[in-house]
Structure 1
């Protein structure tokens, strides 16, 4: 008789999904705390979204030195080449971090988690991967981020195209030759803006398909010499402290006054000053009421519109790209940064297709047919985004108490979390940079450290107390959801169709995906929860 193969189960204190900022920081923090912990990553190296997003023009829009960890052993020995580093620099940074923190020995790459089932009898998560690994772990830390599940347009014939068709986040590692090619970019979010402008200098003919106009602002890029730093090393300790206390996880926040407290002349001068900073300041460092009242928001839009129209030659394009009638509240869809996006439309080989005027009928073997005509392409690039915020969690079959599916729970009304870090009915499951946390309204590394520290502290407290599981209460979760929605609906955020509200994915409930109340308020909530004996959670399974 043949031998029976016994499936090996790896026993852990914690399993982390995701090798971006959150997962990497959590691995470091827990390993330093003496935990038996492993990290699994679907990609082949560290970087999270920056492992996948390597399309032409891909770069971060949080300006240096914000977009890095605050650990002195890292920043003392790291130099950014640009104010807004591109994807190659970011992957180099992650390799540097991995070496400094010796992370590879505890990481499994090319490993995709397919299911995670809570075993109520053992107080353990049973986690399986597509390549056959099984883990039994006390804590399941799903640091999947907000952009882990791609979104594709539901177009007839999309599989029939004979050229290259690719989602922007699956860009080929062997760079395709696009010189002289006819290229379509579908989408005008942050990715589409970056892609289109970069490709406009490379390809023979470029067509941008726009559903909703982007409202990007000026990127003030800077190339640093080897002896230049965005902030002197001697000031970085204070810089990172200020970053952790900022409203958005940056070292700046709103002005301490409303839009109409200034005269028109002073207001325009203020807008110009903020604009010239060339980062998110015009969006997130402006008047306190900009994202909360329509009148204040329109003033910000008028300034943006005048700036933009002055850069376009064609009256039709002025109206499509910077409409007279404000298309949605400024800043309530993701604001890209750009440096030449609008000027490219003045070139004769760059075209704009507004799919509201001429909708896409189908994809053909040769290109894309709209209601007006068929346009032939060699390459179609889908900058169509993600099932944002929740998609990274729901694409894994996660089942909690009583076998309840997390995907089903979220499908009923949208994300349901307690403090944007845990979910009622799912013990010992924590995540960072996810739904109903500051996430997309917070600088990534800032959030990764804040939430990663809080999660580690929870685990330390349970270990000291000999408690096997912690789970959020349904009532506390309901209170947090109501608070998140109340803050969102006090703003103009719901007046725009965006992934901030779960729009763009058919069948996804419309609800606020983000906490808009700012990092200080969020930190205070987490501190209050912990200092009150983790109020809003209950505990099970004493071991002593």
Structure 2
């Protein structure tokens, strides 16, 4: 059997993996990328459900490394939909001749470090082996769909779909009775997209979230011209932005305005695009309970004004957390969908699911018939994909065992005991627009690889450096606005240790620590070499 050997093996063809492959090739490494799917795009390859789209502005999500790429690609909408996003990643791959370095349909099942050779052997599902000096697992944080273990799921005779494993062929919901379980960021996009097609749509909600309008719009010709002309300024702003967005930070506190001024401000925010409702809000939104409660009351009244059935409206209003406690979904026509005669909301805390039957979903109030079940139940966030790669480091140490009590990382890119192994875009990295954070990490990884090549050394981080960064992540909950019951802590996965999966210290601190590491010649990446 022929075993291909390369310098750098990248796993995953999402936004991070594509950039990692590009940087590795530009730095003169031989490189290969393995992708489980049959195309590129990562999240935007697998999530092709109706109305899947960005809630980060399109032009802030894409790549910034090439002026030519920036100028030749024109996003059609402020928040692009999945088909356009997938086209973009295919354009990038072909524009920079990266496809010939990719292997599709190659799901990784094992990655084992050979201590004698100082390299990795990576095996895919079909038994093919690859050997590489360095492995970069760009597997993403939202790439392992989660379906709860509900009794009877295997007995259902109809069609079952998960938002993260949506079929490539269009799904026709015309005249079908649909049960949708879950109302997170994906679920709230699907409901209005199919509400007019179905015979009935029953939505099962575990937790109500503070949903606000996405306020999408086409990008006008005037805006296109401004984007084209502003490449350097936009690149520089996004490279340094704390959130990874182009949004303007609001230094004003809520109590500096009168109640009337605040109401006007809330109205402007309600009609503003996407994450500006969080990033451009009053600076004390998450620290001043009175301002947060007032904003929540404003949103609750908006929901009541849209949803005609008072009981449904109340079920859609969160009662257990303020704004920012959970990842806020953004919607287009979601609340209005509940005014349609065939759409019904079931609150699971009030009416729990007992089992899935052959013909539908049984709750404590009885069975509701369904032809199709949509599982909009989220992902094993942060560590899910990495823990399933079969990674074995020094002494055969399993990564999933090393992370049994939660992830242990240095700068969110490497773990002690796993030489020449990196995972940009994984846990302990981001707290904002993910591609901007993972881009910082990819650049860090390439700099370390160049150092390793020049030194002829194995890159293996100092356990003390890992401990220090991990402690910082776990001890910084006070900096995080998210509840420990959210999926950002893994709380949605039964049996998973609840632990910090984000970087609550933010991008500024990450960039500072990367700069400090560079100033030492990345010493912490080489101190642990025997």
TM-score bracket for the superposition, by shorter chain length: over 0.9
Instruction: Name 1:40's counterpart in structure 2.
Output: 34
Instruction: Name 1:18's counterpart in structure 2.
Output: 12
Distance 2:402 2:420 in 1: 17
Q: CA deviation at 1:227?
A: 7.4
Alignment equivalent of 1:488, drawn from 452, 456, 477: 477
Instruction: Name 1:222's counterpart in structure 2.
Output: 217
Alignment equivalent of 2:119, drawn from 111, 115, 124: 124
Matches within 5 A, 1:97-496: 97-224=92-219, 229=224, 231-252=226-247, 254-323=249-318, 326-411=319-404, 413-438=405-430, 441-467=431-457, 469-494=458-483
Specify whether residues 293 and 537 from structure 1 end up closer, same or farther in structure 2 by C-alpha distance, changes over 3 A only: farther
* TM, length-normalised to structure 2: 0.96
SS of aligned partner of 1:375: strand
Q: CA deviation at 1:310?
A: 1.6
Specify whether residues 482 and 434 from structure 1 end up closer, same or farther in structure 2 by C-alpha distance, changes over 3 A only: same
Q: Deviations over 1:447-471 (max 9, x none)?
A: 232111111111112212222x122
Specify whether residues 253 and 508 from structure 1 end up closer, same or farther in structure 2 by C-alpha distance, changes over 3 A only: farther
Q: CA deviation at 1:225?
A: 5.7
Distance 2:289 2:500 in 1: 19
Instruction: Name 1:4's counterpart in structure 2.
Output: none
Distance 1:421 1:262 in 2: 43
CA RMSD of aligned residues (A): 1.8
Alignment equivalent of 1:511, drawn from 490, 499, 508: 499
SS of aligned partner of 2:334: coil
Distance 2:351 2:4 in 1: 55
* TM, length-normalised to structure 1: 0.94
Specify whether residues 283 and 538 from structure 1 end up closer, same or farther in structure 2 by C-alpha distance, changes over 3 A only: same
Of stretches 484-493 and 273-282 in structure 1, the one that deviates more from structure 2 is: 484-493
Q: CA deviation at 1:226?
A: 6.7
Q: CA deviation at 1:293?
A: 4.6
Q: CA deviation at 1:259?
A: 3.0
Query: Contact conserved, 2:278 with 2:324, CA < 8 A, in 1?
Result: yes
Query: Contact conserved, 1:329 with 1:492, CA < 8 A, in 2?
Result: no
**Structure 1 residue runs without a partner (length 5+):** 1-6
Specify whether residues 216 and 231 from structure 1 end up closer, same or farther in structure 2 by C-alpha distance, changes over 3 A only: farther
Q: CA deviation at 1:170?
A: 1.6
Q: CA deviation at 1:349?
A: 0.8
Q: Deviations over 1:356-405 (max 9, x none)?
A: 11111111111111110101011110011110111010011111111111
Q: CA deviation at 1:223?
A: 2.2
Distance 1:230 1:218 in 2: 26
Specify whether residues 370 and 216 from structure 1 end up closer, same or farther in structure 2 by C-alpha distance, changes over 3 A only: same
Specify whether residues 380 and 424 from structure 1 end up closer, same or farther in structure 2 by C-alpha distance, changes over 3 A only: same
SS of aligned partner of 1:346: coil
Query: Contact conserved, 1:182 with 1:204, CA < 8 A, in 2?
Result: yes
Alignment equivalent of 1:54, drawn from 48, 51, 63: 48
Distance 1:55 1:44 in 2: 17
Query: Contact conserved, 2:409 with 2:416, CA < 8 A, in 1?
Result: yes
Q: Deviations over 1:143-170 (max 9, x none)?
A: 0011111101111010111111111122
Query: Contact conserved, 1:153 with 1:384, CA < 8 A, in 2?
Result: yes
SS of aligned partner of 1:453: helix
Query: Contact conserved, 2:460 with 2:529, CA < 8 A, in 1?
Result: no
Instruction: Name 1:3's counterpart in structure 2.
Output: none
Q: CA deviation at 1:321?
A: 0.5
Matched, 1:89 2:84: yes
